[in-house]
Structure 1
Amino acid sequence: MTVEDLVSAARGQMEILEQRGDLRVPIGVVTDDSRAVVPGSLFVAVKGERVDGHEFVAKALHDGAAGVIAQSPVDTGIIPLVRVADSRKALGIIGSRFYGDPSSRLTMVGVTGTNGKTTTTYLCKALLEGIGRQVGLIGTVAYQIGEEVIPASHTTPGALTLQGLLARMLKAGLNAVAMEVSSHALALDRTAGCEYDVAVFTNLTQDHLDFHSTMEEYFQSKLKLFTELGRGRKSGQRAVVNMDDPRGSQVRAACRVPVWGYGMTGTPEIKAEQVKLSLNGTNFMAATPAGTFPVDSRLVGEHNVYNLLGAIGVALHAGATCEQVREAVTQVNNVPGRFERVSAGQDFTVVVDYAHTEDALRRLLAAAHELKTHRIITVFGCGGDRDRGKRPKMGRAAVEYSDVVILTSDNPRTEDPLAILREVEVGVHEALQRRKDVEYHLIADRRDAIATAVRMARSGDMMLIAGKGHEDYQIIGTTKIHFDDREVAREAIRHLRDCA
């Protein structure tokens, strides 16, 4: 494969400003990391959030780069140069061509939204496998290729990593992929070169305003997944949209492909009726374009009704029958770190959940409130170096729905943990003015906070540990240490039992 082959395949998908040198030079590697350049590489200079790849063109040439794609004017001497209007976008498009356009040969399901992406993709995978598809998974918890599970570095990986994963899925015999598509990935064109068959919109609430300037900018990033449907070579695409979310109608209006709305109110194409919730699971009747059928799921909480509806839309679009959907749903026991129960012989309920936004925390607490038999004890915190605006809002939410609130550290990263907690406390104290009977504690050490909650719990209580979910680490400063809420809770319960 030559530089000319890659550039020719991308013509019409990216704006080419300048070409210099003999583009017929063969290429063995495509990379945007100058440290990964080896002789015969095509180096794509991308201006990142912290580092500008254009500053490393000379190093890439010294290490044997056979060609350069750049956005800014650079001197490459006799080495071929292609200058484009947007090298970040070009990276994904050229990466796709380099790996053989894998998304064109896979059924691509993209799920975006603030909350529910992980559970919805797990459900999509299970439901598509119920009709015989071989499905890969890309998301927050892990990347799955058949039996291989790769720890996830990002919810949606970088453009070249993503294209390489899709190519590996094809080589492994998979024919579909369910993937979370983050707003960061869409804003940074990590998904450039990917063409989706189905896109799902779950919801939009405040998050990532450390990256996006406004909620509107955040929404417009999400919307890109839907406005791109129908622009490429694939046909028969569809959007599946949560119409109970205030932004759902805008997503629907922006689509140029057929849309199935879903929800619990109004007249969406896919609707949950006669919903019954319990600690053992969720039951409802699904009214769909393919017919009405009962859904019996082990997933807990009203928020999971929405996740189920989105996945049902994907499965029906793929040709599943109502009976196939009904059967596949029963096979999903839980999703890692999403309302995941921890059992170690205690007479109270312990739930670990990834809820790390105000909306997600409210959904978790609402589900707990619906199912509780006694008190709700909530242990939570907020991550450092992330959207600070949501901190007091999460504090208010915790107090409004809980009987006991224990505020603790999440992943403080490079921020002072106590400074983060003081910002969350602003909302906590506001809500405590209205709910003076709520018991409140600040325990910065997360292990101590969980142990304290376990000691406080009485028979019938529901203890929620929110914010980290499936994560098995804590980031303090720039150091990542092992820390798993599930393990820590089990240890605390066993210690309590041993001391009894």
Structure 2
Amino acid sequence: MKTEQLISLLKIKEIYGDLPDEVTDITVDSREVKPGTIFVALKGIETDGFNYIDSAVENGSQLILSDRKKDLPEGVGLIKVKDPSKVSALFAEYLYDFPHESMTMVGVTGTNGKTTVSTMIHNLSISMSKKSAYLGTNGFKVNEDTYPSLNTTPETTRLHKRLKEAVERETEVFTMEVSSHALKLGRTFGIDFDIVIFTNMTQDHLDFHGTMEDYGFTKGLLFSQLGQDLKKTKYVILNDSDPWSKKYRSMTPHEVVTFGFNDSADFYPKNIEGSLEGTTFTLVTPEGEYNVKSPFVGDYNIENLMCAIISEWLQGYSLERIITAVEDMKAVSGRLEVLDNRLPFNLIIDFAHTPDALEKVIETIRPFNTGRLITVYGMTGERDYSKAKEMGRIASMSDYVVLTVDNPGNDDKNMLIEIVEEGMTHNNYAKEIDREQAIKIAIDYAQPGDTVFLAGKGREPYQIMENHVKEPHRDDLIALNFAYEKYNFPGYEN
């Protein structure tokens, strides 16, 4: 694309040095730079792209986008703007030819349930014979192919590049998790969503937002940014029982569809029966009642499933077809996932790392547990410590708890355990700073009929350790290995 054409999109800018005639790509990562790439010197939370301009130039960039001036070699130009993040989104849209316009864009926000709802929609879209893509905590997926992703919602230029890749593979529906961090930092600038979903709002990320008000209204950006153009068909799906939904309803002129457990919602369940193998219920809808056989466990997964069903319905599919497809769905990786039902005790992993999520999982497991409930929980490092005591109280709902750490980073591991320990309401617990050994303690303690619940990580494939080094770690594989060793199962790795 002609550089002059891109620059003409900006009314206020300062230009220094020699600009190239054309550019072909844009990135905030100097390691991704090649000739023809615009390098965006973006100032992040932990790093400042301004410090990597020289590296980008060495790798072939001839055009720098920054909020500060810098002397550069001959043949390299710099555009100084007030907000490089916003401008990079604008440039990416033009460079990648507005990829979101050719897909149905679905955005999912909320404290809990984003990954589950987004994955359910992705899988249902495939069942509806649509080419589908998903982007979120579990990576980037195009149909059945999965690629790693660094953030729940990637930085602006990387996000637009993912959209372009999806379009190149003829994707028709693109579902993505939209975090509050992404909304506050402008990572979703330029994305024109067709359907947006709010799951729930509970305490989390106060280390970043400061207050629940800021956290809540930041998520509201997803609804207000749907715009005012009523010629465009857009929908909002809201949790009928969450107080924030009333605020979000007022932020958009587009049609709102609600879900919940009360008959005030547009979609609600009744006649619920469940087990650790799944749930059956009657779904009441504006088009009548339908019997649903779901492979997902717990009331909160009924809410998540209703979100996915509504999303497909709003895209024009019949409820009969959608609900038939639900029966063939599989559990979402790392979300209330029962590992190897051949074991004499239940072994369950879940990503639960907020008070609300941890309590809901424990309350869901408890009725199906014939023995003791053993929970492994670790406080995440360098995060909102104000929830630690409450997490200890909720973990105490279990019969036995192993307190450990989760992505400790540069925090003192003993401190992370101690602040959770303050909330414990009984003395039936152990402490172990090594998460792998903590899992071993739980497996060794378990007897037939018990349930071991590993909270906080799901299938996350690493631990963030000192200096933010990511060390390989999988709760599920570690636990299975210890369990296989204990019971001499085939597949035990010596």
State the partner residue of 2:492.
none
State the partner residue of 1:461.
450
Compared CA separation, residues 104 and 425, structure 1 to 2 (3 A): same
Q: What amino acid sits opposite 1:40 in the alignment?
A: G
| Secondary structure at 1:30 match in 2 | strand
Compared CA separation, residues 154 and 105, structure 1 to 2 (3 A): same
Superimposed CA distance per residue, residues 70-104 of structure 1 (whole angstroms, 9 cap, x where no aligned partner): 33455668865544332111212211221111111
Instruction: Determine whether 1:190 maps to 2:179.
Output: no
Measure, in 2, the Cα distance between the counterparts of 1:424 and 1:463: 19
Question: Does structure 1 retain, via aligned residues, the 8 Å contact 2:16–2:78?
Answer: yes
Shift of 1:32: 2.5
Matches within 5 A, 1:60-79: 60=56, 64-73=60-69
Of 380, 385, 391, 2:382 maps to 385
Superimposed CA distance per residue, residues 5-63 of structure 1 (whole angstroms, 9 cap, x where no aligned partner): 3345x56xxx7344678878211232233454444332323222233334555665576
Shift of 1:203: 0.9
Question: Does structure 1 retain, via aligned residues, the 8 Å contact 2:24–2:95?
Answer: no
Instruction: Determine whether 1:367 maps to 2:357.
Output: no
Of 30, 42, 48, 2:44 maps to 48
Q: What amino acid sits opposite 1:107 in the alignment?
A: T
Compared CA separation, residues 23 and 439, structure 1 to 2 (3 A): same
Instruction: Determine whether 1:282 maps to 2:282.
Output: no
Of 443, 451, 456, 2:440 maps to 451
Question: Does structure 2 retain, via aligned residues, the 8 Å contact 1:241–1:259?
Answer: yes
State the partner residue of 1:218.
215
State the partner residue of 1:435.
none
Compared CA separation, residues 448 and 257, structure 1 to 2 (3 A): same
State the partner residue of 2:136.
139
Instruction: Determine whether 1:257 maps to 2:254.
Output: yes
Q: Whose RCO is larger (CA < 8 A, sep 6+)?
A: 1
Shift of 1:420: 0.6
Compared CA separation, residues 275 and 419, structure 1 to 2 (3 A): same
State the partner residue of 1:496.
486
Structure 2, unpaired ranges of 5+: 490-494
Question: Does structure 2 retain, via aligned residues, the 8 Å contact 1:43–1:60?
Answer: yes
**Worse-superposed segment, 229-238 or 308-317:** 229-238
Instruction: Determine whether 1:325 maps to 2:322.
Output: yes
Matches within 5 A, 1:76-475: 81-231=78-228, 235-343=232-340, 345-399=342-396, 401-428=397-424, 431-432=425-426, 439-475=428-464
Compared CA separation, residues 33 and 419, structure 1 to 2 (3 A): same
Question: Does structure 1 retain, via aligned residues, the 8 Å contact 2:41–2:65?
Answer: yes
State the partner residue of 2:472.
482
Compared CA separation, residues 233 and 147, structure 1 to 2 (3 A): farther
Q: What amino acid sits opposite 1:6 in the alignment?
A: L
| Secondary structure at 1:453 match in 2 | helix
Measure, in 2, the Cα distance between the counterparts of 1:233 and 1:17: 33
Q: What amino acid sits opposite 2:4 in the alignment?
A: E
Task: Give the TM-score of the pair, scaled to structure 2.
Answer: 0.92
Compared CA separation, residues 139 and 56, structure 1 to 2 (3 A): closer
Measure, in 1, the Cα distance between the counterparts of 2:481 and 2:29: 42
Shift of 1:349: 1.0
Q: What amino acid sits opposite 1:269 in the alignment?
A: D
Question: Does structure 1 retain, via aligned residues, the 8 Å contact 2:126–2:143?
Answer: no
Measure, in 2, the Cα distance between the counterparts of 1:65 and 1:420: 43
Measure, in 1, the Cα distance between the counterparts of 2:179 and 2:429: 34
Superimposed CA distance per residue, residues 342-374 of structure 1 (whole angstroms, 9 cap, x where no aligned partner): 126322211111111111101111111232223
Amino-acid identity (%): 36
Q: CA RMSD in A?
A: 2.4
Shift of 1:266: 4.5
Measure, in 2, the Cα distance between the counterparts of 1:240 and 1:42: 37
Shift of 1:2: 1.6
Task: Give the TM-score of the pair, scaled to structure 1.
Answer: 0.91
Question: Does structure 2 retain, via aligned residues, the 8 Å contact 1:275–1:282?
Answer: yes
State the partner residue of 1:3.
3
Compared CA separation, residues 221 and 84, structure 1 to 2 (3 A): same
Question: Does structure 1 retain, via aligned residues, the 8 Å contact 2:19–2:75?
Answer: no
Q: What amino acid sits opposite 2:487 in the alignment?
A: R
Measure, in 2, the Cα distance between the counterparts of 1:224 and 1:288: 28
Shift of 1:233: 9.8
